[in-house]
Amino acid sequence: MKAQHGRMAAFRSGMRTLREEIGKGSAKTAAEHVSLLLRAMDGYENDVPHKNASRIGEYRRLYAELGRSARKLELVLQANDLKRANAAYGKVLQICAACHRKFRD
């Protein structure tokens, strides 16, 4: 449970930095921050939500989806495609929100 809170804190600061770096047009730095965000996912398989705990399969699928969308964002940034980076960032954020809607109390 402690790991899960640490993960969420890393997600929050990671997403904030990403938004700033994308805003500044620093695709390279932003891509590095996506790597950190992906690294913060390590061990998510052991996380369990407090709310709707029986829907653990769905919970893990949302984590997997988060990983996929973050990797897409990383690719877009590595290609220095800032226009698509905004949409890809939005997609990652949507998955944060989707999981919170269902599983955060």
Alpha-carbon distance 85 to 100, whole Å?
23
Q: Are 97 and 61 in contact (CB under 8 A)?
A: no
> Per CB under 6 A, which region of 24-32, 79-87, 94-102 contacts ligand HEC?
94-102
User: Given the complex with ligand HEC, which of 25 and 90 has the nearer CB atom?
Assistant: 90
Residues 63-82 that bind ligand HEC (CB under 6 A): 63, 66
4 binds ligand HEC (CB under 6 A): yes
- Residue from 24, 28, 39, 50 that binds ligand HEC (CB under 6 A)? 50
Residue given tokens 């047009």 in the structure block: 25
